[in-house]
Amino acid sequence: MMMNNNNLHPLSISVIIPVYRGGDNFSQCLESFKNISVFPLEVIVVVDGVDLESYQMATKFTDKVLQLEENQGPATARNRGADIAKGEILFFMDADVTIHHDTLAKILQVFQENPEVSAIIGSYDDSPSASNFLSQYKNLFHHYNHQIGSREASTFWGACGAIKRDIFLKIGGFNQHYRFPSVEDIELGYRLKKKGDPEGIGYAVRILLCKDIYVKHLKKWTIYSLLRADFFYRALPWTELIHQNSSFTNDLNLKYSSRISVILVYLFLILLIPIFWYKQLIFLNIVLIVILTILNLPVYRFFQQKRGLIFTLQVLPWHWFYYFYSGLGFTLGTANFWLKKLITQIK
């Protein structure tokens, strides 16, 4: 625990970790708590389904272990953990991240120095554990987006996010409609930030993005896992959330430069077809590539500084591919949103 500035009241924090088939990553997650500078009031592990290995790891580490009978997804698991938590601050982290020695200390410091703040999100650090290219690229790209994000955040993040317990309970926790790891944390953030206090919290909610609060991501990404997560579990449901909330905030993955980049990538692909008949279009495509590169120069400089020129050159096609499937996800998600709305109106 940590005392606040007036030394009258100790701030307490409960750590909540949902896990399902966590394996070695979960073991490293638990081990990382041995080296922290400030200890939490409690660490609550929610084993999300039949998973004897994770359950045994958790019970050796803490006596606050919940065993769910069937896998219901991280939204439900986090809510079950919050139900029994006693800390004033709830810190949610994933089972495939490790905590830094000062993560909890910094979280408590931000809350004590900013009593009006309701929630905090942090960032992945810049040294992801898995060494393969896709894991380095994906996790560093996530780190970059949080490092350039607005301090006044417009969303929440379940991998490294803290929220006042009373606020979390008043707003109803995570939306358990999300069966898989998806946008349940983003949806929670949107509800927190809705204007007019629709949840009856009683005051405006502030969420801070604290760029010096870190966890390390251990996940090893493959082409399959990356596309499944980014396209099916993020892009499609996030698009529906954006339309439901009319939230096109110029922040994180939704910056204007990203939206323009999606358009440029699709213009490039469209012009590839007539190039066979009109060779002069090659020059137009070269111009599009140059504009796309200049527009994204900050992120390419970031990768060059972190991993060098060769790595950055490998990043280029993957980054442009990211814009391709993000645009496709937004298009399909938009179509699905309006189709559902039309069907509802007909009924």
CATH code for position 173? 3.90.550.10
Return the pLDDT at 244. Answer: 86
Three-class SS of residue 66?
Answer: strand
In this prediction, residues 164-191 reach a mean pLDDT of 94
Check whether residue 134 and residue 177 sit in a common domain. yes
CB 122 within 8 A of CB 213: yes
Q: CB atoms < 10 A from the CB of 241, how many?
A: 19
264 lies in the same domain as 325: yes
pLDDT for res 199:
52
Residue 164 sits at φ, ψ, to 5 deg, of: -65, 135
pLDDT reported for residue 84 = 97
Same-domain pairing of 157 and 282: no
3 vs 112: which has the higher pLDDT: 112
Residue 249: per-residue pLDDT: 65
Burial (Cβ within 10 Å: 0-12, 13-18, ≥19) of residue 342: exposed
Q: Which residues share a beta bridge with 208?
A: 120, 152
Boundary of a domain, candidates 197, 220, 243: 220
| 278 burial via Cβ count (<10 Å: 0-12, 13-18, 19+) | exposed
Q: Which domain holds residue 286?
A: 252-346
Q: Which of 190-194, 267-271, 310-314 comes out lowest in average pLDDT?
A: 190-194
Same domain for 167 and 208, yes or no, is yes
Token output for 199: 């949840």
Condensed to tens digits (0 to 9), the pLDDT of residues 137-152 reads 999 999 999 999 999 9
CB 183 within 8 A of CB 159: no
Same domain as 274, residue 191: no
Residue 196 pLDDT grade (very low, low, confident, very high; cuts 50, 70, 90): very low
Q: 299-334 burial, b if ≥16 CB within 10 A, otherwise e?
A: bbebbbeebeeeebebbeeebbebbbbbbebbeebe
User: What average pLDDT does range 91-120 have in this prediction?
Assistant: 97
Q: Where are the alpha helices (DSSP H) in 194-308?
A: 223-227, 236-245, 256-272, 281-295, 297-307
Residue 265 lies in a domain: yes
Let me know if residue 227 belongs to a domain: no
Averaged pLDDT of the chain:
91
**pLDDT per residue over 42-92, tens digit each?**
999 999 999 999 999 999 999 999 999 999 999 999 999 999 999 999 999
Residue 246 lies in a domain: no
Report the pLDDT value the prediction gives residue 275, as an integer from 0 to 100. Answer: 83
Is 238 a domain residue?
A: no
256 in the same domain as 214: no
Number of residues in the chain: 347
Say whether both 100 and 215 belong to one domain. yes
Q: Is residue 232 part of a domain?
A: no
pLDDT of 5 > 50? The answer is: no
Q: Are residues 185 and 303 in the same domain?
A: no
DSSP 8-class letter at 161: E
pLDDT at site 248: 62
Alpha-carbon span 321 to 331, nearest angstrom: 15
Q: For the chain, how many structural domains are there in total?
A: 2
Structure token digits, residue 290: 């140059």
Q: Which of 147, 177, 164 is nearest to 92 (CA)?
A: 164
For residue 225, being part of any structural domain is answered with: no
Q: What is the pTM of this model?
A: 0.91
